[in-house]
Amino acid sequence: MSVEKHNPSAALHTPIVGVAHHPKLAQLGPSIAMLRMFSVPATRIAEVFGATAGRVRQIHRRDRLHDETLISVPNLPELFDPEELAWIESASKRVRVPMHGRERREFEKRECLAEQGFSECAHSYQYSEGRRRMTGLLQFFPSVARMPKLRLKARILHYLAWFSVHDGYCASAFEHSLESMRLSSIAYRRSPGKLDLLRLSETALIAANASLLMHDPGRALKFLNHADQARSAAGLPGRGSELL
């Protein structure tokens, strides 16, 4: 898989000069939603738009409630242990209070480290260093009862799988892909959203690539089909057939 040179959040690192005022934040819901989809931290978005991180998250939640529709995915594979899903659902019901203070800051710090680490190492072809960074970040997520942490752990595993397959560790890449897909599947069933389906689809492509490199085209085709199913459930055309 080739590395996309375009970084959707690159513009956020360019200082805004000579701007007298910021537009009303309520009018920027779609922009905030797009940036959050690419995992840009709320604190960084707040700096750009001249608001607080809490206000950014509030706008994002409001727009999701208005725009998000429940997606039926009857054909998606069951990628999780039913007993584990029951435990996560039970634990997440007990952890209803949103993250605040130090916990929120630590979470956003690691979210930023994951995105920056992937961007830096992927663009400079430092696959071993990328694997090292992602492996180091995983130690901070032994528990995934909270949905934001579960989703971030799934993303870190996705990046670890990507670096592994490019670094020649195909078996490890496949295992990391499965774990990432499993967590994305759990997140979707706990709180349905298109982002989980898109990420599941992206990770399925890594699993397919790893399978091909391990000379297992049958399994690769299976995961290409999983990727197509997830994209279709999210209302997007499939891509698996293009990659055959």
22-75 pLDDT tens trace: 445 545 666 777 676 666 787 888 888 777 877 777 776 655 544 433 334 434
Among 37, 67, 97, residue at a domain's last position: 67
State the pLDDT at residue 232. Answer: 83
Same domain? 63 vs 78: no
Same domain? 151 vs 63: no
Question: Who wins on pLDDT, 87 or 38?
Answer: 38
As a whole number of angstroms, the distance between CA 28 and CA 56 comes to: 9
Tell me the pLDDT of the chain averaged across its residues. 75
pLDDT-based confidence at residue 133 (cuts at 50, 70, 90): very high
Same domain? 59 vs 149: no
Same domain? 135 vs 153: yes
Among 41, 67, 93, residue at a domain's last position: 67
Same domain? 10 vs 109: no
Same domain? 35 vs 93: no
Picking from 152, 79, 162, the residue whose alpha carbon sits closest to that of residue 128 is: 162
Question: Who wins on pLDDT, 25 or 131?
Answer: 131
Which residues neighbour 51 within 8 Å (Cβ) at sequence distance 6 or greater?
22, 25
Same domain? 94 vs 132: yes
Same domain? 117 vs 167: yes
Give me the count of residues in the chain.
Answer: 244
Computed on alpha carbons and rounded to an integer, the radius of gyration of the chain in Å comes to 18
Same domain? 54 vs 88: no
Number of Cβ within a 10 Å radius of residue 24? 9
Same domain? 200 vs 110: yes
Q: Say whether pLDDT at 79 is over 60.
A: no
Q: Domain limits at 36?
A: 1-67
Total of domains in the chain: 2
Q: Say whether pLDDT at 1 is over 80.
A: no
State the pLDDT at residue 147. Answer: 82
> What would the pLDDT profile of 134-163 be if each residue is shown by its tens digit?
999 998 887 666 788 889 999 999 999 999
Among 38, 67, 96, residue at a domain's last position: 67
pLDDT-based confidence at residue 210 (cuts at 50, 70, 90): very high
